[in-house]
């Protein structure tokens, strides 16, 4: 056997045994070694026909590969914009279009559930993307305090707030202090703010809340 083949097979066996599939797959890691860091994966996902759910001449919408709720999508511009830090007033129409597209996707996915639309203050993935996420948080991929707090604290910046900030200042000027501390906060229910020690106990509690839109609330 050729030496390089032996090394490749050995690496593959190592990845199969050690990669945590709850966050990234073996395939993701293998591709990262060939095409760059895993944080660049969104650009590739935009061309993945199995992930894309909608698109137009300005945007692409994909399903989040590891959704943190029953419905979780990412709205991304076709134009390369690394993050909110690179957004200016010239991008306001794009930001508004992203918000509108997100609302359309949410309505199409489920007319009854509440959704939020926004950005992580410090995104882990490169390329601007807006999250469209249902508020049931019913997903096996939601496993850690970091996962939870990234969507239920000030770490998650509402899309309308971003648009208003850019309108007023000409750029995104985050007022989120100590973002890392937000991810380490105690677990709190996003509806009633009750604290919990573990994600499993929090998940059991969440289902007790009605997270449908007011017009669909059961009497």
> What does the buried/exposed string (b/e) look like for 149-185 if buried means 16 or more CB atoms within 10 Å of the residue's CB?
bbbbbbbbbebeebbebbeeeeebebeeeeeeebbee
Helix (H) or strand (E) holding 55: strand 52-55
Phi, psi of 9 (to 5 degrees): -65, -35
End-to-end CA gap in the chain: 69
Q: Is 129 a catalytic residue?
A: yes
d(CA 64, CA 140): 13
Which one of the listed residues 72, 120, 127, 129 is annotated catalytic? 129
CB-CB neighbours of 19 under 10 Å: 16
Half-sphere exposure of 36 (CA within 13 A, CB side): 8
Residues carrying an active site annotation: 129
């Amino acid at each position: 056997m050729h030496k390089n083949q032996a090394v490749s097979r050995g690496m593959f066996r190592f990845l199969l045994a050690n990669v945590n599939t709850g966050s990234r797959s073996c395939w993701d890691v293998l591709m990262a070694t060939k095409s760059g860091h895993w944080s660049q994966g969104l650009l590739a996902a935009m061309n993945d026909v199995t992930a894309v759910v909608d698109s137009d001449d300005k945007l692409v919408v994909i399903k989040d590969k590891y959704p943190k709720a029953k419905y979780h999508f990412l709205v991304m511009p076709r134009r390369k914009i690394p993050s909110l830090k690179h957004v200016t007033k010239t991008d306001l129409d794009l930001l508004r279009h992203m918000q509108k597209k997100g609302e359309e996707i949410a309505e199409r996915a489920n007319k009854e559930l509440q959704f939020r639309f926004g950005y992580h203050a410090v995104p882990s993935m490169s390329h601007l993307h807006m999250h469209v996420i249902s508020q049931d948080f019913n997903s096996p991929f939601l496993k850690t305090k970091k996962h939870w707090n990234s969507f239920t604290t000030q770490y998650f910046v509402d899309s309308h707030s971003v648009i208003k900030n850019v309108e007023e200042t000409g750029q995104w000027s985050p007022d989120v202090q100590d973002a890392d501390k937000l991810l380490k906060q105690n677990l709190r229910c996003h509806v009633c703010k009750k604290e919990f020690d573990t994600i499993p106990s929090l998940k059991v509690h969440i289902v007790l809340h009605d997270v449908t839109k007011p017009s669909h609330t059961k009497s």
